[in-house]
Every structure is written in C-alpha cells, then in structure tokens.
Structure 1
Amino acid sequence: MWFKLSCLRRLWPALLLSPLAFLLAISPDCNRELFLILHEAGRVAPGAFWRLLSVLGDWPTVLALLLALSWRRPDKLPALLAGCGMGVFLAIVLKAGFAEPRPPLVLPPGSVQLLDDLPGNGSFPSGHAMASATLASFLYYSGMLRRGVVLTTVVILVMLSRLAIGVHWPLDVAVGALLGWAAMYAACVWAWPRGWPEELSARVQMALLAPLAGQLLWLLYKSGSHEEYALRLALCALVLAAGCWRWRRLRQV
C-alpha cells in the first residue's frame, strides 16, 4: 500500500492528464466541441485577464523565473537546465512535425474571438501549457512549494487562458502540460540529483545572465501591443537586476 500511495503522490499529474489527452486524441469532435464551450465560457473575464495569465506560460518569462528560483536551490540547477532543454526541444520538434492549424484557421468565421496575435507556428502541443507545467513541477519536486493544489490551479488557469484567447485546442494544452510535467519530473529524478559542485553552479548561473540581458534588449526593441508586454518586461528586468546584484555580492566575498 505504501508503494502505491507513494506512486500516486509522485505521478498524479500524469494520472490526471493522460486519460484526458487520450480521450481528446481519439475524438476530434469532442476536442472541437470542448474548445467551443470553454472558449465561449472564457468571455466572462476580460481579454486582459487571460493575456496576463498567459505570461506564466511564456517560455522566456518562465526561464527567467526558473533562473531566479535556482538561486535558492543551486543543487537543482542541472535539473532545471535538463528539464527546460527537453521541454523546449519537444515543443519545437512536435510543433514542426504535426503542424496542426490553430482554431481560427479551421473553425467557421465568427466562431473564435481572437484576443491576441495569432502565432505563426503549429498549434500542437501548447508551449505555454508546457512551460507553466515545467515551472510548477520544478517548484514541487525541488521542495520549494509542496502545495500541489495551488500549483495545479495555476497550470489549469494558464491552459484555460490559451483556450479563451483562441489560439489552442484542448488537446494541445493537455498534452503540453503532460510533457512539461514529465520533462521536469524526469530531470529532477535523474539529472545529477545531488547537483554540481558549488563553484560550477555559481559560474553557470552567472553565465545565464547574458542571455537574460539579451532577452531584455529584445523585449525593449520589440514593443508589445498589449498589457502583458509590460509584465514580461518588468519580470525580466527584475530578475536581471537581482542577478547582477547577486553576482556583485559574490565577487566581493
């Protein structure tokens, strides 16, 4: 019994998402109808609410937040790099391989109220759902936040935001969240579980500030058209400033 309960505690996201993903995969009509229902239900909240929620599934923003979290748990830096690398790789390869059209390109005109710019890549799987699940899994399996209900709620809200905005099918977000969880769970279990030497981890963390600075410059160059742009910019700038301050303190020690 102990073994079974232990497995349930570790693998409950897969037990929750796998049946849903399987059902939607074998029933395209169900996938389409569920999208229309949830997309219509999403109109009870303003578009700004869903766009701001989606920031928690934006890969550049999630990577910046994960870097900041690794300062608290430097022993989990290898897992962070492996899990994120695996997640980004899967998102790129699967989107290019399936090239699934997004809802506004398939459904009759007027069926979808698009709340944001339509991405030009494939719909399957959802990169936002994957990134948010990766962030939640890192928090949970690194022991920084053991409130699974809270983390699950946040991931579900990000998944719903992609449906409300009108850019993803339910199957996209279910599989995306499943892959994001699996990538980070596997990394936390098998990718150098005891971490790297302290000096190496500190050097890698400092080196990661360079791409973060590049991301900030890119955000400043490519101004956004909605309110979530300011949130992305603020989070990136805050993490970069904190990282530079931390690097300066380490050099003075």
Structure 2
Amino acid sequence: MAARAISVSGSAAGLMCAERLRRVLPLATPAEGPDEMLFHLLNLAGSNPIADAFMIAVTTLGAAYLLAIVAVPLWWRGHREAAFDLLVLLGTTVVVTEAIKFAVGRPRPCDVLTAVRNLAGYGCDAEFDPSFPSGHASRAFAVAAFIELRFRWRAGSASFAFAFLVGLSRIYLGVHWPSDVLAGAVLGVALAIAIEGMSRRADRYRRLRSWILSKIPHRRPASP
C-alpha cells in the first residue's frame, strides 16, 4: 500500500511539474534559438567512427536495466537498504520522467528538424515518443547523486562524470534537445535527494523497507 502511494504521489508530482514547465517554457514547439543552436553544434560535431561508437556505448549503459545492476554490488557488500533505495529511486525516476514526457508532449529534434544526425536507432516515422525530459539523463544523474549522498565515495565524482557523458550522448546521437538533458539532470538529482530524505526520515517507508528486506534471503559478506 505504501509502495503504491509512493508511485501515485511520484506521478502526481511529475504532472504538476510538467504543468508548471508548460507555462514557463515553449517546450511543445521548440523555436529556433540557443537550444537549437547548441543541439546542432553538438549533434553535427563530426562523423568520427570512434566517437560515434563511444557515444552509442555510453548511451546504452544509461539504460534503466543496466543502471539497476549498480544495486548488485551494494547488496553483495551488505548495503541492502542502499540497494533497495536505489531500485526505488530508479523506479520513481522512470515513472515521474514518463509522466512529464507525455504531459508536455515535446517532439524530438528529428521530428521537427531536417539536418539531424540520428545514430540511436530512433526513427521519426515511429510511434511518437516525447522528448522532454531525457530519461537517460534523469536516471544517470539520479544514480550519481544517490551514490554521492549515501556514500560520499570518490565514485560519486566518477558517477557524475559518467552521467554527464550519458546526457551529452543523447544530444550527439540526435535524440534530445540540450534542455531535455538539463531538465533530466535536475529531475534526477532532485528525486535522489527526495528518496534519500525519505530513507532517513519517513518512518512508514523505513518500516516497509525493513519488512520487504526481511523476506529476502541473503548471504552476509565474508569477514576480511
């Protein structure tokens, strides 16, 4: 019940955020301006086969199911609550991002521009897939912020560097506007802060997490 409430409240927050953004920014019909200029600058940066392959690899690693794998070493090393929270964060990020996408309904660059290098397999003749915000960016920055907030590892800096590359790859590959990536990054960090705060202070969530984890068998990490 609590998990359902979290999901519903996340979707509601996403829709409210989308409505505010719709009023402030001309997102549905991107006009020629800094956003489009920066898109062309990064998207038409060059047709280097090595750079193309690198960006495709980076964007592939930004997929939700691959980012979820980060929970595996956390679980194995005994950070079961962190692994659980990370999966909740990723799930919430996906739900909120998709809610905003379909509420705003912003077209992707190749839906409205002609000179676009598209290397990510997205076809403009495919079923409409909204652009704002970038799901890859929101997920990558959510994970990076979570690692930094929870552990303050040096890996936090590396995670943010990776998240930056994921966002850059979405523009380079021709599937997102720069503002999509920026909004995704802000959204991901904000959700990571929210989940971290809930993990520390929301008693109902903490009890639900403890109950779920108590039902999952696990091996304790071996002593060094």
TM-score normalised over the length of structure 2: 0.70
Task: Note if contact 2:145-2:189 (Cα within 8 Å) is conserved in structure 1.
Answer: yes
1:194-235 per-position Cα deviation (integer Å, ceiling 9, x unaligned): 95676742635x6xxxxxxxxxxxxxxxxxxxxxxxxxxxxx
Shift of residue 170 of structure 1? Answer: 0.3
Give the Cα separation in 1 of the matches to 2:174 and 2:45.
12
Give the Cα separation in 2 of the matches to 1:199 and 1:146.
31
SS for the counterpart of 1:132 is helix
1:7-50 per-position Cα deviation (integer Å, ceiling 9, x unaligned): xxxxxxxxxxxxxx9xx957941111110011122644532111
SS for the counterpart of 1:142 is helix
Shift of residue 192 of structure 1? Answer: 4.3
Shift of residue 66 of structure 1? Answer: 2.8
| 1:118 aligned residue | 122
Q: 1:142/1:202 Cα in 2 relative to 1: closer, same or farther (>3 Å)?
A: farther
Give the Cα separation in 2 of the matches to 1:57 and 1:154.
9
Q: 1:185/1:70 Cα in 2 relative to 1: closer, same or farther (>3 Å)?
A: farther
Give the Cα separation in 1 of the matches to 2:193 and 2:179.
21
| 1:133 aligned residue | 141
Give the Cα separation in 2 of the matches to 1:159 and 1:141.
20
Shift of residue 69 of structure 1? Answer: 2.6
Identity %: 29
Task: Note if contact 1:79-1:184 (Cα within 8 Å) is conserved in structure 2.
Answer: no
Matched, 1:158 2:162: no
SS for the counterpart of 2:119 is coil
| 2:109 aligned residue | 103
| 2:40 aligned residue | 36
Shift of residue 84 of structure 1? Answer: 2.0
Give the Cα separation in 2 of the matches to 1:79 and 1:118.
32
Task: Note if contact 1:101-1:122 (Cα within 8 Å) is conserved in structure 2.
Answer: yes
User: What number of residue pairs does the alignment pair up?
Assistant: 184
Shift of residue 177 of structure 1? Answer: 1.0
SS for the counterpart of 2:44 is helix
| 1:191 aligned residue | 199
Q: 1:199/1:105 Cα in 2 relative to 1: closer, same or farther (>3 Å)?
A: closer
Q: 1:70/1:177 Cα in 2 relative to 1: closer, same or farther (>3 Å)?
A: farther
| Uncovered stretches (5+) of structure 1, i.e. residues with no partner | 1-20, 207-246
Shift of residue 134 of structure 1? Answer: 1.4
Higher relative contact order (CA 8 A, sep 6+): 1
Task: Note if contact 1:66-1:80 (Cα within 8 Å) is conserved in structure 2.
Answer: yes
Q: 1:66/1:146 Cα in 2 relative to 1: closer, same or farther (>3 Å)?
A: same
Give the Cα separation in 2 of the matches to 1:42 and 1:76.
41
Give the Cα separation in 2 of the matches to 1:132 and 1:55.
11
* One-letter amino acid matched to 2:38: L
* One-letter amino acid matched to 1:86: T
Task: Note if contact 1:113-1:166 (Cα within 8 Å) is conserved in structure 2.
Answer: yes
| Uncovered stretches (5+) of structure 2, i.e. residues with no partner | 1-20
| 2:175 aligned residue | 167
Give the Cα separation in 1 of the matches to 2:66 and 2:188.
15
TM-score normalised over the length of structure 1: 0.63
SS for the counterpart of 1:112 is coil
Task: Note if contact 1:84-1:184 (Cα within 8 Å) is conserved in structure 2.
Answer: no
Q: If each structure's helix is expressed as a fraction of its own residues, which one has the higher value? A: 1
